Chains A and B, each alone.
Chain A
Amino acid sequence: MSHEQRFLTAIAEETAIEPQDWMPEAYRKTLIRQIGQHAHSEIVGMLPESNWITRAPSLRRKAILLAKVQDEAGHGLYLYSAAETLGCAREDLYQKMLDGKMKYSSIFNYPTLNWADIGVIGWLVDGAAIVNQVALCRTSYGPYARAMVKICKEESFHQRQGFEACMALSQGSDQQRAMLQDAINRFWWPALMMFGPNDDESPNSAQSLSWKIKRFGNDELRQRFVDNTVPQVELLGMQVPDKELKFNTETGHYQFGAIDWQEFNDVINGRGLCNHERLAAKRKAWEDGAWVREAALAHAEKRAQREVA
């Protein structure tokens, strides 16, 4: 059997492709890009939430938020780890992100403007991520699939605590309810955009699907998210900011309005609300921390030399 036949057979039989296996160069490159961007998303995703750690309105919420952000750092770590099994270096991927040459999820380019945003991020944004990640638990590349399984286990806590925080607001004062509706108004459409362009506008999708990197198309996952989530919005006594939203009894799915793809394109091309601030924050942290990283390396090297001597 040739390398390529072995690879295609594994894909067909759903045997995981592992790091030392032969794989087409394009498969390797696609995965490095996808896993790398997924990792960057976890890291940058810490910023909109950490914005509220110091202002969390109760100690319990503060502890939950700190634990969630810590989890996200951990998830970034698992994903960089999976990417590196493909023969790239974390520092190169990270530098590309800092240079604006690799992307992270569009959703994190939106600012968190009130406390309800924190609950809504946990509920809607993590909710959307979970739909995507559950699908990826059966992705063809072994290390990526295993990272997804680990992340999914931890992610359900994130979504539940987000929804709980939203419920507390929905059962609160008029001001709190208004805060929650405002957050939903600002995050609903960006959450739908997280699933990416329509399938017919998505050039890489076909190849990713045939290699079972992706298991479902963007539109199918987006529909799944909408169907899951609309009843939750209603449970909160809130409204989805979409005049065209309607349940279709024939299809059994919710119909929804048109996504503003202009906004999506602006955001992924660096002209969203917070792209500038997110990158500036990560660059600053990296640059300000250079002396610390270098000190640790210098110390390790000196010690290694002493041990050899």
Chain B
Amino acid sequence: MDSLTIYVLRLGDNGLVLSQRLGAWCGHAPELEIDLALANIGLDILGQARNFLTYAAQQLGDQDEDSLAFQRDERQFSNLLLVEQPNGHFGDTLVRQYFIDAWHVALYSRLITSQDPQIAAIAAKALKEVKYHLRFSRGWLERLGQGTALSAQKVQGSLDELWRFTAELFEADEHDQAMAAAGIGVDPRQLEAPWREEVTAGVNQAGLTLPQEAAYRRGGKQGLHTEYLGPMLAEMQILPRSYPGQQW
């Protein structure tokens, strides 16, 4: 697989795994309006994933979005570890979302000038969507942080629990660097400053504390996942795997 395909597949896998997580909230959210909002975000992100996966499949030649989604094993998935973390309570989902939304806005606002027209087009559409997602997640971070003592305690717990996965967002391997050098991709290291600026402001506004210890969990981009991805994929892939070759 060449660097372009790997780069695009990583973005597709992020969206696929995150939308899979968000889809599980349907009908179980704290209020009807939140059910609508999470479904909306999930659908947007699934759309982004499908665009990237389709592009990756075109590069590979003998695949499509579904063979990539349903026929690869855990070790072949290249999503960030953050997005495969379980939904937990609403605070956990919200913090996971906020971290990703801040990253998405920084990423897509740079990716719109990609030398690759397909990536630039996907990014342009995605940017509008993720700005709205960030508004939602940041708004809720503040409501939970500044709400009740219980909500502040819970969402601070979510921040503390998910923090260790945030280092991976800014790691650049040889594929990221090759794509950045070609003007096609964004070097993830460039995203750290804008992300930190947003997250510091958001966390402060929410009256919460930014964890100080260094984040360290990595490996998702190399297919080294947490134990959560396996069961999630088993559930997601069951039908095409049970009935190989069928159309749906």
Question: Footprint of B on A, CB under 8 Å?
Answer: 43, 46-47, 50, 53-59, 61-63, 66-67, 69-70, 73-74, 76-77, 80, 115, 165, 168-169, 171-173, 175-176, 281-282, 284-286, 288-300, 302
Contacts and interface: CB of A to CB of B under 8 A. Distances in A.
A295 B89 CA distance: 14
Interface in B12-35: 16, 19-20, 23-24, 26-35
Contacts of B199: none
Nearest to A300: B143
A294 B248 contact: no
Contacts of B151: 291-292, 294-295, 298
A54 B24 contact: yes
Contacts of A57: 70, 239-240, 243, 246, 248
Q: Which of A67, A70, A74 has the most CB of B within 10 A?
A: A70
Contacts of B150: 291, 294-295
Contacts of B65: 59
A295 B148 contact: yes
A66 B42 contact: yes
Nearest to B39: A70
B248 A292 contact: no
Contacts of B53: 59
B40 A70 contact: yes
A295 B236 contact: no
B143 A295 contact: yes
Interface of B: 16, 19-20, 23-24, 26-36, 39-40, 42-43, 46-47, 49-50, 53, 65-66, 69-70, 89-91, 142-144, 146-148, 150-151, 154, 235-236, 238-240, 243, 246-248
Nearest to B89: A288
B39 A73 contact: yes
A56 B42 CA distance: 14
Interface secondary structure of A, over-half rule: helix
Contacts of A58: 66, 70, 240, 248
Contacts of A61: 248
Nearest to A303: B146
A76 B26 CA distance: 14
Contact of A299 (B28, B35, B43, B147): B147
A4 B148 CA distance: 50
Contact of A53 (B24, B144, B246, B248): B24
B36 A73 contact: yes
Contact of B30 (A70, A169, A293): A293
Contact of B27 (A54, A69, A80): A69
A296 B148 CA distance: 9
B27 A292 contact: no
A63 B46 contact: yes
B53 to A, nearest CB: 7
Closest 6 CB pairs of A and B: A289-B30, A295-B147, A295-B151, A50-B26, A57-B239, A70-B39
B27 A46 contact: yes
A297 B150 CA distance: 13
A168 B147 contact: no
B28 A76 contact: no
A289 B31 contact: yes
B9 to A, nearest CB: 14
Contact of A292 (B39, B49, B90): B90
Contacts of A171: 247
Contacts of A285: 27-30
